[in-house]
Structure 1
Amino acid sequence: MIETVFRADELSAADRLDFWREHMAKTLCPMDMDCDRTADFEADMRLLQLGSVSVWPMTVTPVRFRRTVKLIRRSDPELYHVTIPLMGSNGISHADLEALHGPYDMHIVDSSRPFDIHVVDSLTPARMVGIEVPKALLPLPPRAIERLLARKLSTQEGMGALLAGFLTELVKDTAPYGPTDGPRLQTIIVDLLSAVLAHQIDADGILSPDTHRRTKILQIQSFIQRHLRDPNLSPSTVATAHHMSLSYLHRLFQDDGITVSAWIRRQRLERIRRDLTEPALFSISVQRIAAQWGMTSYPHFSRIFRATYGLPPKDYRQQAAVRNGQ
């Protein structure tokens, strides 16, 4: 993954809007832009390049984006733009539909068709996260996707919630990822978006067996992460919650070269490791932190923590405290 940061406030107020117009044309696609608040225009954007897919968290003063027939003729990257407003609302005119989308109302537009999007005016800049996906990567008929353009796609349940959660977590902290992680992250995003769209058009059968398997694993992993604090979480409880046999659950994870129990344990250990380095939690005992993440046998936890990170948990915390000047 390659990350680039753009900030309009590094320029004079008079140059910011023109800079942002040029920047958006290069990173997304050519668009006309205007803003009623040029004197205090603010915008910042991080561009995460994941192979052919890009993710862009952005904060921007209310602004209007227009993609016209003339601009399409000039250049068309043939992308689907998917946007999730996090704070503020987007008004859209696209594909013979006008709509207003508020926070977490995911929506999609087609770079090959004209659109008019305006960030609804408010006292504070709007925040959003978007993805750009080449049309060729989605295994769905373009005519079917046309039915979804500019419409609200739910992020409150199912694959929509999984996609929104994955994107917001990804942009929150990119430190764990390097350049070689781009293709894997691209596959996850394309699989999740394909599943969201296929569900909306009742075309789940179009998705490949590999896509179904990968999205099922992502659903299961999301469930596990939400229930890590439950000491009774186990492969059996995970299988029951997903209405599948224990043997099938194990087969899903074996394809990725890890057991279900090992994946649960790794996630718990990582949460505990993070808590042990958090100064605000230094007054809480190591044993209590481990128990809060479902690891109730302290001797067992201490052994596997040392085997994983090279130090006993108390020594690991002590080193973190020294680094933080405690």
Structure 2
Amino acid sequence: MLQESVFRTMDLPPSDRFDAWVQRMGSTHAPMRLSTDHTADYRGHQRVIVLGEVTVWPATFDPLKFHRTAKLVRQSDPETYHLSLLLKGEGAAVWGRRQATYRINDFHTNSSSRSWEVATGSDPVTIVGVELPRALVPVPGHRVDRVLGGLISGREGTGALLAQILRQLISDTRPYRPSDAPRLGTVVADLVTAAFAHAVDDDRSLPPETRSRTLVLHVKSYVRRHLGDPDLTPDRIAAAHHISRSYLYRLFRDEGLGIAAYIRDQRLEHARRDLSDPDLRTEPIHAVAVRWGFPRAAEFTRAFRTAYGVPPSELRERALVSRERARIADGRAGSVDAVPTGCGPSANDTPPASAASW
């Protein structure tokens, strides 16, 4: 599991909550002046995920105004870039005479080395913040300054790829080992760099390794979106990305992969997930195979057995038996640990606020 910390204002006395949130925001990005109409009982929830030199922090919080003043910049500047992917709510930013209103799935951008103001809307917002040292972004600083305070779309191009990776990362950090953190940080930094370079129309400033790694991520995303197409071939993938087939092979060889093997492995893994899903247990196996790009049943069964050591039907049966045993075990544990009649909360008691919300 990745290194992660969690902060909730609701764990503190109401009178301490807003001051604690101000301190938390200052340590996450840089010292700022914050103001809100909710100081009496401020609600905020933040996770901080450390990826080497890059930090990702999903957060939900009450309406807030941020102001990074010129004086605070002079007093303390960690020299970082910041991006916020807006997932819920709305807001606006002011950079001198420049203004921007951001919407869901937009990235707002700023720098700890500049003064700025940001105000969220009247409802709580949910964002995914990204902090990374300016030194990790090889696009010239004076060029990046031209787009800071503006928006980068998270719905198309490199921005969409960055948003997809951030969403996947924050959804569950358990599959990753601590040793994965620096590599994931490099992926995020490369995509931020490519997004900035695209915004200033300066792809030439990207180091060759950054361009290559970013292109591989785009290719992988394209493959995952077209897994169900049995005609997904290296030639088609290369054409879609305006590169030669030999260059495509070289990109994946440098990653220690083969493009054909990557397609096959992704198809098999998606098929395995569907066959392990009890909600899909009545769907014919051949239908699952066709959905993930295996139109010929014999070919699918052979590839599946080679990858997982058992035929698809047996893996489905094992998954269903395992799920049923877990359900029965949970039922037994619940009956043993059940609260005796008359000792539980009354119908008039108010349940606590959902931890998923705050």
TM-score by length of 1: 0.92
Residue aligning to 1:234 = 233
Post-superposition shift, 1:39?
4.5
Deviations 1:121-140 (A, max 9, x none): 12xx2111121110011101
Post-superposition shift, 1:58?
1.2
Residue aligning to 1:146 = 145
Residue aligning to 1:190 = 189
Post-superposition shift, 1:119?
1.2
Deviations 1:149-208 (A, max 9, x none): 111222332222222222222222323222111122112111111111112212111111
Q: Distance in 1 between matches of 2:197 and 2:110?
A: 16
Residue aligning to 1:79 = 80
Structure 1, unmatched stretches of 5+, are none
Contact 2:15 2:41 in 1 (8 A): no
Post-superposition shift, 1:40?
4.8
Letter in 1 for 2:49: L
Q: Distance in 1 between matches of 2:13 and 2:136?
A: 39
Q: How many residues align?
A: 324
Letter in 2 for 1:320: A
Residue aligning to 1:127 = 126
The 3 A distance-change label for structure 1 pair 42 and 320 is: farther
Residue aligning to 1:165 = 164
- Give the number of the structure whose alpha-carbon radius of gyration is greater: 2
Structure 2, unmatched stretches of 5+, are 328-358
Matches within 5 A, 1:52-67: 52-67=53-68
Letter in 1 for 2:311: P
Residue aligning to 1:217 = 216
Structure 1 window deviating more from structure 2 (102-111 vs 27-36): it is: 27-36
Contact 1:94 1:109 in 2 (8 A): no
Deviations 1:33-85 (A, max 9, x none): 22212345322122111100011111111112222234334422110111121
Residue aligning to 2:106 = 105
Q: Distance in 1 between matches of 2:274 and 2:79?
A: 44
Identical-residue share of aligned pairs (%): 43
Q: Distance in 2 between matches of 1:145 and 1:180?
A: 31
Structure 1 window deviating more from structure 2 (43-52 vs 62-71): it is: 62-71
SS of 2:151 mapped into structure 1: coil
Post-superposition shift, 1:95?
4.6
Q: Distance in 1 between matches of 2:165 and 2:238?
A: 22
Post-superposition shift, 1:32?
2.3
The 3 A distance-change label for structure 1 pair 95 and 180 is: farther
TM-score by length of 2: 0.85
Contact 1:85 1:129 in 2 (8 A): yes
Post-superposition shift, 1:224?
0.5
SS of 1:118 mapped into structure 2: strand
Post-superposition shift, 1:148?
0.7
- RMSD of aligned residue pairs (Cα, Å): 1.9
